[in-house]
Amino acid sequence: MAPFPAVVDLNIGGVCYTTALSTLTSCPGSLLAQLFTDGSDPPPQDCRGRYFIDRDGVLFRYVLDFLRTRKAVLPESFQEGNRLLAEAEFFQLPEFAEALRSTRSGPRSGLSPDRSPGSITVSYRGTFAFGRDGLADVKFRKLARILVCGRVTLCREAFGETLNESRDPDRGHVDRYTGRFFLKHSFLEQAFDMLCEAGFRMVGSCGSSTAGIPGINDKPGSDSEENRWNHYNEFVFVRD
């Protein structure tokens, strides 16, 4: 077969990369070095001639970074350390796998970190869906936004990429508290599941009642009937 080009186009699980052949073969004995060495059976090619490997395309960026730098550098609040470890083992990169296992810097590793104690408060303001006849359907809760309060490092560890920090004016200082975070989704049960997976347990909750007096504090143009069903709830989670 013809030798591989000096610059190689890759399609990793649908995510495309371009890198140097010397990078792919920089770790002798690795799967990539075996695949991209002249005389071996190369990976199949997609319709555009890119070499295709059916793995996690998003996580492959960290595999490439390791091949280039020989360091396991992960972003803050990285939550997929165990999946990345599986990729390192698949590509037969023992140094990378060992570096991931030894990274014990809390939320940066995503690998069963040494969890520090603390508390997180989750809250929401909501109402209930209304049917065509104008009656509230109490089985369908409507949430505008799920708010998160607590120490920044804990919030990032628990919620990862689902945490929205766009309303927080004090970025850059991670060892602090904030009440300006909210989630990118509106599924309360998903937020609870993520907190439980991070080792938190709920220790308290409180909320306001519904059925207020219609017409009081109604905003112009708002549905006064729906406003009667507005309510506010807070849930406190603690990790010892």
Residues 153-170 have pLDDT tens digits of 889 889 988 888 888 776
**Stated pTM of the model:** 0.48
Q: What residues does each domain of the chain span? A: 7-108, 118-239
Q: How many Cβ atoms are within 10 Å of 152's Cβ, its own excluded?
A: 22
pLDDT band at residue 171 using 50, 70 and 90 as cut-offs: low
pLDDT exceeds 60 at position 212: no
Token pair 């504090």: residue:
217
Nearest CA to 141 out of 192, 188, 181, 182 is that of 188
Amino acid at 211: A
Quick one: average pLDDT of 162-183? 80
DSSP string, 129-192: EE-TTS-EEEEEEEEEEEEEEEEHHHHHHHHGGGEE-TT-S-TT--SSEEEEEEESS--HHHHH
- What was the pLDDT predicted at 102? 77
Helix (H, G, I), strand (E, B) or coil at 199: coil
For domain 7-108, the CATH class is: alpha beta
